[in-house]
Amino acid sequence: MQVNTLVDKIKNNLMRDYGKEAKDASIHEMHNVVAQVVISQITDRWNEANKNFYKNRHAYYLSAEFLMGRAVQNNLICIGIFDEVKDALNEIGFDINQFEEIEDMALGNGGLGRLAACFLDSAATCDIPLNGYGIRYKFGLFKQAIEDGFQKEYADNWTAFGDEWSLRRFEDSVKVKFDDMEVVAVPYDMPIIGYGTENIGTLRLWQSEAVNEFNFELFNNCEYDEAIKEKTEAENISAGLYPNDNTEAGKVLRYRQQYFFTSASIQDLLKKYKAEYGNDFSKLVELNSIQLNDTHPVVAIPEFIRIMTTENNVSFDEAFIMAKEVFNYTNHTVMAEALEKWNIELVEKYTPEVFAVIEEINKRLIKELKKLKVKKKDIAKYEIISDGQVHMARMATYIGKYVNGVAEIHSEILKKDTLKEWYDIYPDKFQNKTNGITQRRWLACCNPELTELLTRLVGDDSFLKDLDKLKNIERYADDDSVIKEYIEIKKKKKRQLIEYIEKHEGIRLEEHFIFDIQIKRLHEYKRQFMNALSILDIYYRLKVGEIKDFTPTAFIFGAKAAPGYARAKAIIKLINEISNLVNNDPETNDRLKVVFVQNYNVSYAEKLIPGANVSEQISTAGTEASGTGNMKFMLNGAVTLGTYDGANIEIVREAGEENNYIFGAREEEILAIKESYDPKEIYENDEHIKKVIDSLVDGTFDDGMEDEEGTIEGSFFELYNSLLEGTSWHKPDHYFILQDFNRYFEARMKLNKDFKDEMSFARKCFINTANAGFFSSDRTIREYAKDIWKI
């Protein structure tokens, strides 16, 4: 589109919608009209793509979370009109960078939700017919502020200024029935714009509304209070995202959310099918595949069978066989506390017909197990309904045609441990699909400077559609002039990050520091605690002159803790205490800085990752399913300082262990020492470790919770105990921090020394970028399409 035409359209819409001249428009108003102009430009393409979607075999991605981030920049780049829009806005006196104030769409917690977003982007780009179904939460993941070192949570009212990227499709509404209430699920569609293709996918998010709101007569006849109550209860279902990452939420409302969006989605996809084929279901399996992103949407399985049998005259046998062909299940964790179970009473109370279907599925399972000669005493391990609970992962594994893990090590652990009994009887179900990230957002959008250099080196920008092309640049690793340019880009991104952090956190960093970054949800298994303690160790050793010739390092953290996760919140407070101590010590603050950035989200990640030198990926071996943050850093030229866990293993396989810093116990070592592990012995025999751990309770830090007599029984004391004493629910140092502590320190010191040779360090980074091709979610989604969906 011509810049002039764009200018006219933007001006017209501003006047039409807000009665304003361009110079008077707010950032949000400007953003809204730009979104309108883009949407109107792609409407025909989108409608066409929608029609084509149903003609051939297609797949649906059911996910309780989509962590989309900000849409505007990505969409402009994918359509290929970023520069035109930028120029048009310039002409009317508006800097496109002001859109950085637009809210993220944060309808997810972390990696699982971001993966769903990357998958939709990749499927659209690769012309794979995949649409997403989820929940349109009124409030996304809470906004985090750090006040006095503590996390505080604020509501994320992300649609306060409108939601111009979505279209309300009221005519496609469906009703969802619980035993005690009925609601209307109203879909909002968001275009997923492929890059370098005409194709546009759809993310359909359901919003819960009251039935009577659309029935004026009834609404009028109701008691007013009754009507309001019904409206509130209905809207409550999609009111907010549960802020738990990798733990089970187990609340009635959460179950309602899951049933709400899966029921609406199944009704919707059947409606689309029936519009074409009526009640002839012979092509249903041939045309449809459904991917369940973790266990949150697993209730879709019995709901599908219920709808087929009670509303479509299909026998249970037939519906059951269809379900076994249509559904597939992706597991995201090996941790027991995240495997979802629901109380029988709850499922039966709110969705009795669904419960009856689950009971029938369970019966068939037991019959099949007997046929497979599974021993009687082993059958309990498989049962979907047992100990008063419905086991969602078991139902998904039994019915799912394919079951996959998200990195090689994770898929192996599923087979030998988490889902071992299932692998024993159904080995052919099991697959691996190593996660990926989209290079449109995680390179083109967040690092245009590096994209420009890579474009010159590759010869064109084809790597934005085929990331394996980056392999061709590896031959420049020994070309000093290329490496120098690469270094300059990293420095530029660090300078931009310094400005951003100063503006948002009030702390100024310096460019010559190593930027060592750990950003991810706060969780014990991810071991931000180990990082914090290790920084304290380095600080003490610097103070006494034990570490000499230390390359100045800024340790940067970003993380949200689930609001009910006390220990995670204590770790945030601790990091901020360490930050205060270290940053204000004139003896060391020319070499050591610690920053905890507030409200880590997709947009903040897009600032932090291009400016990183070091990517911290330090989970206890065998606990991180894959990680995707690690891939974003690799692509943008940071070395991985990490354990042999999740996709780190595949990252160093691609880019070379010599170009990264892998340390610590491997999964086998952890398994071997598990029973006899004694962290207290390590503590008592290592003066450095002892000093660091003692400072949790010797008055070095204030956790803000000491009582008046000064006896310490607050949250840092609890952290101390978690390492040395354990509690009723876990052993001391459950995540083997002390086991890995010294090897972590040594890896850090080696890295710190290596960094002094600027060229050779940059060469390692460059080789990481060049070998990131495998981690494009384009590769991942093509594997799903080929091996699971058979598209």
Q: Residue 16: CB partners within 8 Å, gap ≥ 6?
A: none
Tell me whether residue 263 or residue 623 sits nearer to ligand PLP (CB atom): 623
Dist CA 463 CA 501 (whole Å): 30
Q: Is 70 a catalytic residue?
A: no
CB of residue 300 to ligand PLP, shortest distance in Å: 25
For 705, the token pair is 């919770």
Amino acid residing at 296:
H
Active-site residue (options: 309, 628, 643, 780): 628
Yes or no: say if 679 and 723 are a contact pair by the CB < 8 Å rule.
Answer: yes
Nearer to ligand PLP, 114 or 391 (CB): 114
Q: Give the count of beta carbons closer than 10 Å to the beta carbon of residue 40.
A: 11
What is the rounded distance in angstroms from the CA atom of residue 626 to the CA atom of residue 652? Answer: 13
Residue placing its CB nearer to ligand PLP in the complex, 601 or 722: 601
Q: What residues contact residue 685 under an 8 Å CB cut-off, 6+ apart?
A: none
Known catalytic residue at 632: yes
The burial of 676, by beta-carbon neighbours within 10 Å (0-12 exposed, 13-18 middle, 19 or more buried), is given as exposed
Interface with ligand PLP by CB under 6 A: which residues? Answer: 110-111, 114, 520, 601-602, 605, 627-629, 632
Closest CB 602 distance from ligand PLP, rounded Å: 5
- Using the minimum distance from each CB to ligand PLP, give the nearer residue, 520 or 607: 520
The two counts, helices (H) then strands (E), for the chain are 31, 23
Of these residues, 394, 415, 521, 560, which one is catalytic?
Answer: 521
Instruction: Please say if 731 is a catalytic residue.
Output: no
Nearer to ligand PLP, 136 or 441 (CB): 441
Contacts of 156 by beta carbon, 8 Å cutoff, 6+ apart: 103, 106, 139, 140, 141, 142, 143
Which of 109, 81, 65, 105 shows the shortest CA–CA distance to 10? 81
- Min dist. Cβ of residue 316 to ligand PLP (A): 41
Q: Which two tokens stand for residue 484?
A: 């120098």
DSSP run (H or E) holding 112: helix 111-125
Q: Hey, what are 238's tokens?
A: 């999609």
Name the amino acid, one letter, at 471: K
**What's the closest the beta carbon of residue 238 comes to ligand PLP, in angstroms?**
22
Pairing relationship of beta strands 182-193 and 167-168 according to DSSP bridges: antiparallel
The residue count for the chain? 791
Q: How far is the CB of 633 from ligand PLP (least distance, A)?
A: 9
Which C-beta is closer to ligand PLP: that of 132 or that of 627?
627
Cβ nearer to ligand PLP, comparing 304 with 735? 735
Position of minimal CB gap to ligand PLP: 629
169 in active site: no
CB of residue 20 to ligand PLP, shortest distance in Å: 34
User: Which one of 204, 256, 520, 593 is the catalytic residue?
Assistant: 520
Instruction: Tell me the closest approach of the beta carbon of residue 114 to ligand PLP, in angstroms.
Output: 4
Catalytic residue among 9, 31, 114, 332: 332
Q: Position 133: which residue type?
A: Y
Clarify whether 520 is annotated catalytic: yes
Residue spans of beta strands (DSSP E) within 429-584: 430-432, 514-519, 553-558
Q: Which is nearer to ligand PLP, 110 or 129 (CB)?
A: 110
* 647/666 Cα distance (integer angstroms): 14
Q: How far is the CB of 776 from ligand PLP (least distance, A)?
A: 14
Strand partners, 493: none
Q: Which of 632, 748, 764, 779 is catalytic?
A: 632
User: Catalytic site residues?
Assistant: 332, 520-521, 526, 628, 632
